[in-house]
Homo-oligomer: A and B are copies of this chain.
Amino acid sequence: MLFPSQVSAINIAELIGAKILGNKDAFAKGINEIHKVEVGDICFVDHPKYYDKCLNSAATFIIINTTEVTIPTGKTLLVVDEPFEAYLTIVNYYRPFTPQQTAINTNAIIGEGTVIMPNVFIGNKVKIGKNCIIHPNVSILDYTEIGNNVIIQSGTVIGGDAFYYNTKKTRDVWYKKMQSCGNVILEDFVEIGANCTIDRGVTASTIIGKGTKMDNMIHIGHDVVIGKNCLIAAQVGIAGATILEDGVTLWGQVGVNKTITIGANAVVMGQSGVTASLEGGKTYMGYPAEDATIKRRELVWIKRIPTLWKKIME
């Protein structure tokens, strides 16, 4: 998430009650989680296991719960007891959840020729392009950006919160919501089926590329990036921060693991479970998803076990 304008290290430190170490004169342009962080961003880390990863990331500012680390040149440490709480404080300050009275926010920007059907909800700072059709009972939540010629079927939810929690099993409530401040971007000519859910990025954008078509009841996790001209059949689920390159086809009920990549023009057969990254240009099936030719042969081999048994018994 970008701040409306750059913010000084001192102002951030004041907001979260942090001690500043390192470069005190820097300005922050935004805040991001570790997978999406860029130069000028604030990032947070609260577990020693991830200190190095965060310190060596692109982040310019690191909210951290220790002073016992070497500060990388030019970077700023913001030291607090509870970095996760500091993250929430910043998000709530710059992008608070805003209760809304009207179904269509008056600050929404809606392009010429776009039809918004009844019972649609449009949230804070949403942008919708030209010649789109938003069917009844759709929810388009805060900060979503939609291109031109996009069609969204009924009941779909764009921009719900990421399923992303801070876990501490010593607390009475183990999982504490990592409040999402990212958004969803649907590019031109995207079509989304009925009763789908596309979660917003935790701090960055979930993106559906130009011309991609999705059937009904598809779940797209936070920070997923889908390329152009992909075809996704009904009831597919894609977990957080996964990448689909251009021209990928996923048939019905496929499940895709988080933070992996499916290469361009790959095809995944129905009900397959994609547990690891897949090379482009091939067809896959099964759980875990493998080259379909190999998998089909495997199904034949299984059928031969009784014959094997018989041969041995002879």
On whether the beta carbons of A136 and B136 are closer than 8 Å, the reply is no
Shortest beta-carbon distance from A138 to chain B in Å:
8
- Chain B residues lying within 8 Å of A161, measured Cβ to Cβ, are 151, 153
A contact residues, total (Cβ < 8 Å): 82
Q: How far is the CA of A211 from the CA of B168 in the complex (A)?
A: 12
Q: How far is the CA of A256 from the CA of B271 in the complex (A)?
A: 10
Q: How far is the CA of A193 from the CA of B234 in the complex (A)?
A: 17
Give residues 179-200 of A contacting B (CB, 8 Å): 189, 191, 193-197, 199
- Chain B residues lying within 8 Å of A286, measured Cβ to Cβ, are 287
On whether the beta carbons of A247 and B174 are closer than 8 Å, the reply is yes
On whether the beta carbons of B301 and A157 are closer than 8 Å, the reply is no
A73 interface residue per 8 A CB criterion? no
Question: Would you mind naming 25 contact pairs between A and B with Cβ atoms under 8 Å apart?
Answer: A102-B118, A103-B118, A103-B136, A123-B136, A135-B160, A136-B139, A136-B141, A139-B155, A153-B161, A155-B157, A157-B194, A157-B216, A163-B216, A165-B231, A173-B189, A174-B229, A175-B211, A175-B229, A221-B234, A233-B239, A253-B273, A271-B287, A288-B299, A304-B309, A308-B308
Q: List the interface of chain A (C-beta within 8 A of B).
A: 97, 99-103, 115, 117-119, 121, 123, 133, 135-139, 141, 151, 153-157, 160-161, 163, 165, 169, 172-175, 177, 189, 191, 193-197, 199, 210-211, 213, 215-217, 219, 221, 229, 231, 233-235, 237, 239, 247, 252-253, 255, 257, 270-271, 273, 275, 286-288, 298-299, 301-306, 308-309, 311-312
